[in-house]
Chains A and B, each alone.
Chain A
């Protein structure tokens, strides 16, 4: 398994601003993922972030709105840009270490946009 931390744990932001969320892992992992979870809903994958390559975005998510950095094997950031109230959500990072397919999640960042 892996231990994952996220910063900030929560934030309240004004519309039009940007927020950068940090994800730190206690071991080196190749694959990291960023998800969004609306209240009471399941998880929606935003993008896959592999070290050394550009992030791969899912349908409906674009790099200009959700730029991702992956500078090394233990760290990644997700920026939510030009925020609107519709971006209010929980943002989660996860990792898939080793050769098996399970993912381990961070505690999430609860974002409210006013």
Chain B
């Protein structure tokens, strides 16, 4: 079993839809959770960074962590064609020498 599982998609939605992207993880020691967006031929860009359980909102993006279920989510409201990209989740725990454990990434296409 991989430490972080993420459905690679592809996911295709119409413009304006609410998008839900998800990852599960196996190690209950993971405390820090990140979502990155990667456009084609670009480096990953940090979207959201959360610690422990709870929600964090930034504009149209909401990150959610449920440590009891070992489940993390990224919601995109009012999705735009410019949101079309690959979304990667990553996690780590204190003392892991800052090494991130990555999901496979989910490819998202938002159609106008």
A and B, one complex?
yes
Which A50-100 residues have a C-beta within 8 angstroms of B? 56, 92, 96, 100
Interface size on A, residues (CB 8 A): 22
Interface string of B77-102 (1 = CB under 8 A from A): 00000000000100010100111101
Query: What is the minimal beta-carbon distance from A30 to any residue of chain B, in angstroms?
Result: 9
Main secondary structure of the interface of A (DSSP, over half): strand
Given known pairs A42-B88, A42-B105, the reply for A101 and B42 (CB within 8 Å) is no
A-B pair count, CB < 8 Å, reads 51
Interface string of B20-45 (1 = CB under 8 A from A): 00000000000010101000011111
Compute how far the CA of A25 lies from the CA of B98 in the bound complex, rounded to whole angstroms: 18
Partner pick for A1 among B42, B43, B46, CB 8 A cutoff: B46
Interface size on B, residues (CB 8 A): 21
Q: Which of A100, A102, A107 has the most CB of B within 10 A?
A: A102
- Contact check, A104 vs B46: say whether CB atoms are below 8 A apart: yes
Nearest CB in chain A to that of B42: its residue: A107
Partner pick for B99 among A41, A48, A102, CB 8 A cutoff: A48
Main secondary structure of the interface of B (DSSP, over half): loop
Q: Which of A56, A101, A102, A105 has the most CB of B within 10 A?
A: A101
Compute how far the CA of A32 lies from the CA of B70 in the bound complex, rounded to whole angstroms: 28
Compute how far the CA of A1 lies from the CA of B41 in the bound complex, rounded to whole angstroms: 21
Q: Is A43 an interface residue (CB 8 A)?
A: yes
10 contacts between A and B (CB under 8 A): A4-B43, A41-B104, A42-B102, A45-B100, A92-B44, A96-B98, A101-B49, A101-B92, A102-B49, A103-B98
Per CB-CB distance, the 5 closest pairs between chain A and chain B, nearest first, are A105-B43, A101-B32, A102-B49, A107-B43, A42-B102
